[in-house]
Amino acid sequence: MDLLTGHAFSIQNLISLLIGSFCGIIGGAMPGLSTAGTLALLLPFTMNMEPLPAIAILVAAYTGAQYGGSITATLFNTPGAPESAVMTIDGFALSKLGLARKGLLGALWAGLIGGLIGVAFLVFLAPWLAAEALNFGPPEFTALAVLGLTVMASLGRGSAVKGFLAGFFGMFISMIGLDPINGTPRMTLGLGDMIGGVPLIPALIGLFAVSESLRLLLADERKGAVRLANQQRVGFTMSDFVSTLRYVVVGSLVGVFVGVKPGGGATIASWLAYSAARAIAPQKDRQKFGSGALGGLLAPEAADKATVGAALIPLLSLGIPASASGAVILGAFQLHDMIPGPLLFTNQPDLIRDLFLALVLANIAVFAVGRGMIEVLIRVRSLDTGVLGIVILIMSTLGAYAFGGSPWDVLIACLLGAVGYAFQLSGIPLAPVVLGMVIGPLFEINFRRSLLLSHDSFLIFVNRPVSCWLFVLSISLFLIPTVFRFISSRKVR
């Protein structure tokens, strides 16, 4: 009964969930605007809200954006986000057969199941991990930050160096401002505004929303009318549900295990889920993959949604975001003076409970809103990306302004938007920049505290077992893929 009278079921929270779902689906459906970009644009609107509805709106938008990306992938053969790319294979094939409605309804069900499985893992694993992390001291948190560093290599889209460049760049600019130990200004170049450092939220808006809108604006193409076959009014039946349930469950589990790993991400999860679904399909169904198999659409969709709950496990329990979208949610916590990590579980258990409930409700809200929007979106035939880019660009400047009411934040968003665009042109990933901005201060403060505790002896990182194991894990995570790549390249020769 206490659960039902909690804040999660308040009218304000329920409305936030519906608005978040709607905005997320629309943002996710916009080609070029990533999930993180959608969240970054929404973030300033949550400033004056209570903490729970503010986080709930973003969590619902996060879940909704994953589904929105699948809509355009299915209808226009145009993924709204990278993680939806795999859904173009069987989703668009279904559209060409006039079965888009069936595919999209099935994807809604798959997303609901995947999302709930992800939340279930979050509910069981996050408190356990947070309880373990309560025993962490500065050396362990330093080691955890180093573990985050190794993730940057995996985000480098084939080039570990570019991943590290982005990560170190994010860490370096996070050092601008006052020294956290003795308050000395550093790297401020004599500008008063620089003393406050580079604020995370305007930086997120610049890196994701601005750089993506610049890409949209400069894409030099207007979305032509994609004429689809007339869509039949065929729905997703109970027999479809039963026959595809195994793909959905397998996809969800893949989503959880890939999503929980920092840097794993929804894109990898959705492709792996597609492969797994194809592998477990009976011979006659396997042949349909690629030409309109429901399993080929539903498994990646379930994986995609399962990553949402999974990605929140390291964020809530350790304070380390697993993805760029997770970093935006971290920004929302910071905006409301909350620090995700083990202490959040002991200091604000009610908030955590309400947050878990809000996540369950977010999945249901996305299902309900998505169900209503399918009939509208299925009629959309064209989209002007130029105008869309201008609207997002202007919204970004406003969002940055709204964060602290300071023109300095607008300038930061503009500068980092330009940097993000240049990085994208060169194939440098943006997620490690954000990860670096989060990890940099965490590393610095704990590293220096550790050295103060040990009287400048680095042995403190080796003498403590958890810290030592985390360092070994970091080195292994960095070395193992490198060794495998080296061996496979030798074999090719």
Partner 1 sequence: MGNSNTPTDPDRSLGNRFVPVFGPIVALALFTPLAISLVGLWQRQPGTAMVPAIFAVGVLICGILSLFQGRQAEGEFGWRQLALISGFVLCGLAIWSEIPYIAATSLLIALCFAIVGRRTWSVMLGVWAGSQILAYGVFKYLLGVPIH
Per-residue binding letters, 146-185, with partner 1 (x by CB under 8 A):
-------------x-xx-xx-xxx-xxx-xx--x-xx-x-
In b/e form, how buried is each residue of 400-419, taking b as 16+ CB within 10 angstroms? bbbbbeeebbbebbbebbeb
Q: Pick from 339, 342, 311, 306: which is nearest to 324 by CA?
A: 311
Size of the site for partner 1 (CB under 8 A): 77
d(CA 254, CA 267): 12
Nearer to partner 1, 338 or 411 (CB): 411
Overall size of the chain counted in residues: 493
Q: What is the C-alpha separation between 396 and 489, in angstroms, rounded? A: 44
Give the nearer residue to partner 1 in terms of CB position, either 180 or 349. Answer: 180
Query: Please, which residues have CB within 8 angstroms of residue 372's CB and are 6 or more apart in sequence?
Result: none
SS3 labels along 61-112: HHHHHHHHHHHHHHHHCCCCCHHHCCHHHHHHHHHHCCCHHHHHHHHHHHHH
**Shortest CB 161 distance to partner 1, Å:** 5
Question: Which DSSP symbol is given to 383?
Answer: B
**Is residue 205 within the footprint of partner 1 (CB under 8 A)?**
no
Among positions 13-42, residues that touch partner 1 (CB under 8 A) are 31-32
Q: Given the complex with partner 1, which of 194 and 378 has the nearer CB atom?
A: 194
Residue nearer to partner 1 on the CB measure, 259 or 331:
331
Nearer Cβ to partner 1 (55/171): 171
- The 221-260 contact track toward partner 1, x by CB under 8 A, reads x-x-------------------------------------
Which member of 373, 395, 435, 438 binds partner 1 (CB under 8 A)? 395
- Residue with Cβ nearer partner 1 (247 or 443): 443
Q: Do the bridges between strand 177-178 and strand 185-186 make them parallel or antiparallel, or are there none, so unpaired?
A: antiparallel
Question: Considering only residues 59-78, where is the footprint of partner 1 by CB under 8 A?
Answer: 72, 76, 78
- DSSP lists the bridge partners of residue 383 as 223
Q: In this chain, which of 131, 134, 195, 422 binds partner 1, going by CB under 8 A?
A: 422
Q: Which of 57, 110, 210, 277 binds partner 1 (CB under 8 A)?
A: 210
Contacts for 290 with CB less than 8 Å, ≥ 6 apart: 89, 90, 93, 296
| Token duo for residue 272 | 């792996």
Least separation in angstroms between residue 425's CB and partner 1 is: 5
Distance CA 242, CA 71 (A): 22
Among residue numbers 432 through 451, which ones bind partner 1 (CB under 8 A)?
440, 443-444, 447-448
Span interacting with partner 1, options 10-18, 62-70, 355-363, 413-421, rule CB under 8 A: 413-421
From 119, 417, 434, 470, residue interacting with partner 1 (rule: CB under 8 A): 417
